């Protein structure tokens, strides 16, 4: 098409609502046109530019083995309720109802949607890892949209997701995306620096923002100037090379204001290398662990284990799920015998006999195997034996752990009345003291909630529910 025939509505003057140079220029040269607050039409010139950027992003995602998919803009509220984010996300989420009175939403991001796809499709660890990305419109109801497309309500975004079977593999995927971002921004002639950042409402326990310097930026940054001299040109898609690349960047202090520590900054970075300025976030990567896969039950079969969650980095069960269990069920569970004892009896194996004939080590191996089996089941309360913590700390971290605390004197009295405890068959008081001192730190370390269990069972249950609800 001839340029003379192109639709390029040029403006003579800067629109009053445009406060920064990029916004002014995009409006004046006819790249975009505002439709409403924070929402823009992309006109032929602007759309062409956006598609060229999209092509570069797509090429770099493909190079690391990510596969492109396309997810819907409108999502069911149910999957967001499963993850626990439906009520937590706030007023930025645009909630709607269809003609069948089903609750829907305009997706602000896609963690839930992609996890739902994964859980319905992937069942074996042999299918992992999986890296997927999509480029789609998003909507967040910003309270104060500004700076044109920089802080808009509707925006065009690439988001990518990895599903991995272990921490090691997940960090490998994380580093692949880290490299992909660095290469993408370099091709766009942008000097984007990876900075340790807060995870915000997205969640997770590791996060890097990619920041470009700009006086109009909303992010305040604190960094060592020497980080700008680095590049990733020699990095290969191998674990060792990627680890080395990320460590190279992380050796220099570079954080956003949420992570800033003044004493640390002044201690680590010499005065001449300190840089305090503003920047604009142009990319963000997160390590979620099983933040989404666990509550949404996205799991795979592992060799020798019935089920395990996709990433082994542990988050706790959402308290809301526990509060939904009726009090009577909790009370019954506390009154019943150890669930592991029950499973062993079904197999015609008695704990006392295992201790006597095979020793404690063999008993702990059987206990671990059965714990792995029952801990992934839905709506289950497991009352473990006191020694379960010794070999199973990492397994227990996959659940929400309630410590029923009693004074040592009370525990000795209770143990003296129970003649079926193999480790307490004689000399109960001294053995209880030894076991208590050996295990108390482990109990406290793993406990998400501590409850005084020195009173009756009914009060203990009420205390648990009240604590969870609060």
What is the distance between the alpha carbons of residues 327 and 257, in angstroms, rounded to a whole number? 44
Residues in the chain: 470
215 and 77 in a single domain? The answer is yes
Q: Is residue 19 part of a domain?
A: no
Q: Domain count for the chain, please give it.
A: 2
Last residue of a domain, one of 267, 287, 307: 287
Structure-model confidence comparison of residues 308 and 274, the more confident one: 274
Last residue of a domain, one of 266, 287, 308: 287
For 98-101, the CB contacts below 8 A with 24+ separation are: none
Q: What is the pLDDT of residue 409?
A: 78
335 and 262 in a single domain? The answer is no
Q: Is residue 332 part of a domain?
A: yes
Tens digit of pLDDT for each residue in 202-231? 555 688 999 999 988 888 999 999 999 999
80 and 221 in a single domain? The answer is yes
State mean pLDDT over 35-42.
94
352 and 464 in a single domain? The answer is yes
Q: What are phi and psi of 95, to 5 degrees?
A: -100, 135
Q: What is the percent of the chain with per-residue pLDDT over 70, rounded to a whole number?
A: 81
As given in the structure block, the two tokens for residue 115 are 């996890």
Q: Is residue 296 part of a domain?
A: no
- Residue range of the domain that includes 460: 316-469
Tens digit of pLDDT for each residue in 56-100? 999 999 999 999 999 999 999 999 999 989 988 888 899 999 999
Q: What is the domain-level CATH number for residue 340?
A: 3.40.50.300
Rg of the Cα atoms in the chain: 28
Regarding pTM above 0.85, the answer is no
Q: Is residue 13 part of a domain?
A: no
As given in the structure block, the two tokens for residue 108 are 């602000």
State mean pLDDT over 410-430.
66
Structure-model confidence comparison of residues 355 and 82, the more confident one: 82
119 and 263 in a single domain? The answer is yes
234 and 326 in a single domain? The answer is no
Q: Of the ranges 18-22, 82-86, 215-219, 359-363, which one carries the lowest mean pLDDT score?
A: 359-363
199 and 55 in a single domain? The answer is yes
60 and 157 in a single domain? The answer is yes
What letter does residue 19 receive in the DSSP assignment? -
Closest CA to 374 of 404, 350, 398, 349: 398
Closest CA to 149 of 34, 12, 278: 34
Give Cα separations from 366 to 112, 345, 351, 387 (angstroms): 36, 13, 10, 13
Last residue of a domain, one of 287, 305, 330: 287
Q: Is residue 24 part of a domain?
A: no
143 and 247 in a single domain? The answer is yes
Structure-model confidence comparison of residues 353 and 44, the more confident one: 44
3-state helix, strand, coil in the chain (%, to 5): 45, 20, 35
Q: Answer yes or no: is pLDDT of 340 > 70.
A: no
Classify residue 23 as exposed, middle or buried by CB count within 10 Å of its CB (0-12, 13-18, 19+). Answer: buried
Q: What are phi and psi of 359, to 5 degrees?
A: 90, 165
265 and 321 in a single domain? The answer is no
Q: What is the pLDDT of residue 88?
A: 80
Q: What is the domain-level CATH number for residue 190?
A: 3.30.930.10
Classify residue 394 as exposed, middle or buried by CB count within 10 Å of its CB (0-12, 13-18, 19+). Answer: exposed
Q: Is residue 4 part of a domain?
A: no
Q: What is the mean pLDDT of the chain?
A: 82
Q: Which range scores top for mean pLDDT: 145-154, 186-195, 196-205?
A: 186-195
State mean pLDDT over 107-125.
91
Structure-model confidence comparison of residues 422 and 369, the more confident one: 369
Q: Of the ranges 207-211, 349-353, 366-370, which one carries the lowest mean pLDDT score?
A: 349-353
Q: Is residue 171 part of a domain?
A: yes
Closest CA to 404 of 441, 451, 464: 451
As given in the structure block, the two tokens for residue 341 are 């004892």
Q: Give the pLDDT band of residue 272 (cuts 50, 70, 90).
A: very high
Q: What is the pLDDT of residue 318?
A: 26
Residue 460's SS3 state is: helix
Tens digit of pLDDT for each residue in 142-157? 888 888 888 899 999 9
270 and 363 in a single domain? The answer is no
Q: What is the pLDDT of residue 323?
A: 34
State mean pLDDT over 334-354.
49
239 and 338 in a single domain? The answer is no
Q: Is residue 299 part of a domain?
A: no
Q: Give, rounded to a whole angstrom, the gap between the first and last alpha carbons of the chain.
A: 65
As given in the structure block, the two tokens for residue 19 are 């406060």
- Residues 192, 211 contacting (CB under 8 angstroms): yes
What letter does residue 293 receive in the DSSP assignment? T
């Amino acid at each position: 098409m001839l340029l003379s025939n192109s639709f390029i509505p040029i403006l003579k003057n800067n629109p009053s609502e445009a406060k920064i140079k990029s916004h002014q220029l995009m409006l004046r040269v006819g790249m975009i046109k505002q439709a409403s607050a924070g929402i823009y039409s992309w006109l032929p010139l602007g759309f062409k530019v956006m598609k060229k950027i999209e092509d570069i992003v797509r090429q770099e995602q493909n190079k690391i083995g990510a596969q492109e998919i396309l997810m819907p803009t409108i999502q069911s509220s149910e999957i967001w309720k499963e993850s626990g984010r439906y009520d937590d996300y706030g007023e930025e989420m645009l909630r709607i109802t269809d003609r069948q009175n089903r609750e829907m939403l305009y997706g602000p991001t896609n963690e839930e949607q992609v996890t739902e796809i994964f859980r319905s499709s992937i069942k074996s660890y042999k299918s992992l890892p999986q890296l997927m990305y999509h480029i789609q419109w998003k909507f967040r109801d910003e309270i104060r949209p500004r700076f044109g497309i920089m802080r808009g309500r509707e925006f065009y975004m690439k988001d990518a997701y990895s599903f991995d079977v272990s921490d090691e593999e997940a960090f490998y995927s994380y580093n692949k995306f880290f490299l992909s971002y660095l290469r993408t921004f370099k091709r766009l002639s942008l000097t984007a620096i990876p900075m340790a950042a807060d995870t915000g409402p997205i969640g997770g326990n590791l996060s890097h923002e990619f920041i470009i310097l700009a006086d109009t930026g909303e992010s305040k940054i604190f960094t060592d100037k020497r980080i700008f001299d680095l590049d990733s040109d020699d990095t290969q898609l191998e674990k060792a090379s990627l680890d080395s690349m990320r460590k190279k960047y992380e050796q220099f202090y570079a954080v956003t204001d949420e992570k800033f520590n003044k004493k640390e900054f002044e201690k680590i970075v010499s005065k001449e290398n300190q840089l305090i300025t503003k920047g604009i976030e142009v990319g963000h990567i997160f390590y979620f662990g099983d933040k989404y896969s666990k509550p949404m039950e996205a799991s795979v079969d592992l060799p020798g284990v019935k089920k395990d969650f996709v990433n082994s980095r542990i988050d706790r069960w959402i308290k809301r799920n526990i509060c939904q269990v009726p009090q009577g069920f909790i009370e019954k569970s506390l009154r019943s015998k150890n669930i592991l004892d029950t499973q062993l009896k079904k197999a015609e194996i008695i704990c006392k006999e295992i201790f006597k004939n095979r020793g404690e080590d063999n008993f702990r191996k059987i206990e671990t195997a059965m714990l792995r089996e029952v801990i992934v089941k839905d709506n289950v309360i497991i009352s473990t034996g006191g020694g379960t913590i010794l070999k199973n700390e990492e397994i227990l971290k996959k659940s929400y752990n309630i410590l029923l605390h009693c004074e040592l004197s009370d525990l000795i009295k209770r143990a003296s009345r129970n003649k079926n405890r193999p480790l307490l068959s004689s000399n109960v008081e001294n053995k209880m003291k030894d076991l208590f001192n050996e295990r108390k730190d482990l109990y406290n370390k793993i406990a998400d909630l501590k409850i005084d269990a020195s009173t009756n069972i009914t009060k203990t249950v009420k205390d648990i529910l009240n604590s969870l609800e609060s």
